[in-house]
Amino acid sequence: MNALPLPAPLSPASPRRLPGDRDVWIFICAELFAFGLFFVAYMHYRSVSVALFNDSQLGLDRSLGALNTILLLTSSWAVVSAVRAARLGRIVAVPRYLAFGIALGLAFMVVKYFEYGAKLNAGITVTTDMFYMFYFCLTGIHLMHVVAGTIVLFVIWLNARAHLYHTGNTTGIEAGASYWHMVDLLWIFLFALLYLLR
Amino acid sequence: MDEKTSLKYQMLCAWSGPLFLVAFIYFWGMMGFNLPAPPSPALGAGELAARYVEHLGGIRVGFLVSMIVMTLYIPWTAVLSVQMMRIEGRSPVLALIQLIGGALTVPVVSISSVFWVAAAYRPQRAPEITQALTDSGWLIIDTLWACTTWQMVAAAVAGLHDKSAKPLFPRWLCFVTIFCGLSFAPATMTGILKTGPFAWDGVLSFYFPYFCWLFWFAFASVYMILEVARRRQALDFPSPSSSARLAHA
């Protein structure tokens, strides 16, 4: 029995370690499941009236949607860079990258403000038709997630400014970054389903 | 009252959870005909009134009993408050938020049932009045979700700070609780929409959030019962380790 080789314990730097916090990942999985339901519901209602969905979709501003996709993808890059800086112990760079990510999150909200404003000014609301019901509900719920994710990034930024994250402690920043990447991932799905899918 | 007697009442309160769950699903859901599907908000007034006439007995008895069943939420919320107060110590603000949120959930859910009983009260009246009463009931139960969300998030946050050797709730359940509490948010759209998944009979405003609420309630009940059981056992068979653990908690 004693001769059996024991598996080597995973060191904190092992690439096979789950980044962040297992229980935060359970939260993220629950979020992804809920959005999965949203997407299935959207596809179901779209399949019933494809013509209406395609027609109403022409009213969306694709360039603003694409701009927001670029903003969130870039912010994800900034957050990844912050995590990498923390792992490498470059603790001064961590809050700078995070501040850039937060600024991009705020920019996303500003773009959405103008996008919603243009729709409402044109008399398009949540009750206009089934497509716009989904457009407002799904992007609205996602916007709540952008706000929540930006608050998470802000808390991490405060901690990073206090030099809390370093080579030996990256759990908190990894957990927050995982959530932000989820927000980004969901937007990519939403952009494809609402703005692009014909 | 000695500790042993108090724990007996705490155990009874914790068991009001499973009892609520079963009775609520039966009377509010099945007997009141909210399951398998609630009345669609898109129904015409005449069709809706006909639905009341057809299921008159079930709707009356189901919702009248469910108003009494809903009060089982009171002892359950009380024992959860006591367990949270132990985690929080001298200034249990989260336990109080939970207590108030749970206490307000009772009128939110039961007053909506009063409106449906009122709708069924005079089945021969003008159908538009029956429709208005039905609308009011659904809008009360669906748009006032945030009271219950406060209860759930407060319980989850306190649970995440539980430093005892055997915490009240596992960490994963605390995160899932926050998610479940926030899953009610689409129900706000029931105040505007009449068709689709965000209407009050839709997947995303009815089936999913109500499932999440009862899912949390079921799991929280199990862990609350286990917590009381541990304390009773520690009282009956005190061991040096368990008494030290409870003293620390």
Report pLDDT digits (tens) over B162-183: 999 999 999 999 999 999 999 9
Model pLDDT for residues B55-72, shown as the tens digit of each residue? 999 999 999 999 999 999
The residue extents of the domains of chain A are: 22-30+51-196
What is the pLDDT, as a whole number, of residue A13? Answer: 53
- Per DSSP, the residues of chain A read -TTSPPPPPPPTT-TTSPSS-HHHHHHHHHHHHHHHHHHHHHHHHHHH-HHHHHHHHTTS-HHHHHHHHHHHHHHHHHHHHHHHHHHTT-TTHHHHHHHHHHHHHHHHHHHHHHHHHHHHHTT--TTS-HHHHHHHHHHHHHHHHHHHHHHHHHHHHHHHHTT--BTTB-HHHHHHHHHHHHHHHHHHHHIIIIII--
Work out the mean pLDDT of chain B and round it to a whole number. 94
In Å, how far is A164's CA from the nearest CA of chain B? 19
The H or E element that residue B232 is part of is helix B208-236
Sign of CA dihedral B147, B149, B154, B155: positive
Residues of A in contact with B176 (CB under 8 A): 26-27, 30
Cβ-based contacts of A144 with chain B (< 8 Å): 185
Quote the pLDDT of residue B173.
Answer: 97
CB contact under 8 A, B198 and A137: yes
Distance CA A142, CA A180 (A): 12
**Confidence at residue B240, expressed as pLDDT on a 0 to 100 scale:** 65
Using a CB-CB cut-off of 8 Å, the residues of chain A touching B204 are: 37-38, 41, 137
A contact residues 122-151, partner B, Cβ 8 Å cutoff: 126-127, 130, 133-134, 137, 141, 144
Q: What is the pLDDT of residues A67-93, one digit of tens each?
A: 999 999 999 999 999 999 999 999 999
pTM of the model: 0.89
Nearest Cα of chain B lies from the Cα of A127 at a distance, in angstroms, of 7
Q: Which residue has the higher pLDDT, A48 or B239?
A: A48
pLDDT in tens, B127-139: 999 999 999 999 9
Q: Supply the pLDDT for residue A18.
A: 87
The per-residue pLDDT for range A1-39, each reduced to its tens digit, is 444 554 444 455 555 678 889 999 999 999 999 999 999
Nearest-by-Cβ selection for B171 from A23, A30, A126: A23
Give chain B positions within 8 Å (CB) of A142.
none
CB contact under 8 A, B195 and A130: yes
Minimal C-alpha gap between A106 and chain B (Å): 22
Percent of chain B with pLDDT over 70: 96
Mean pLDDT of chain A: 92
Can you give the pLDDT at residue A8?
A: 46
- Output the pLDDT for position A1: 41
Predicted ipTM? 0.85
> What is the structure's pLDDT at B239?
72
**What's the rounded mean pLDDT across residues A135-141?**
96
- In this predicted structure, what is the pLDDT of residue B248? 53
Place B238 in a pLDDT band, splitting at 50, 70 and 90.
Answer: confident
Chosen for mutation from B145, B161, B182 (greatest number of chain A CBs closer than 10 Å) is B182
CATH of A22-30+51-196, one of 3.30.830.10, 1.10.10.10, 1.20.120.80, 2.60.40.350: 1.20.120.80
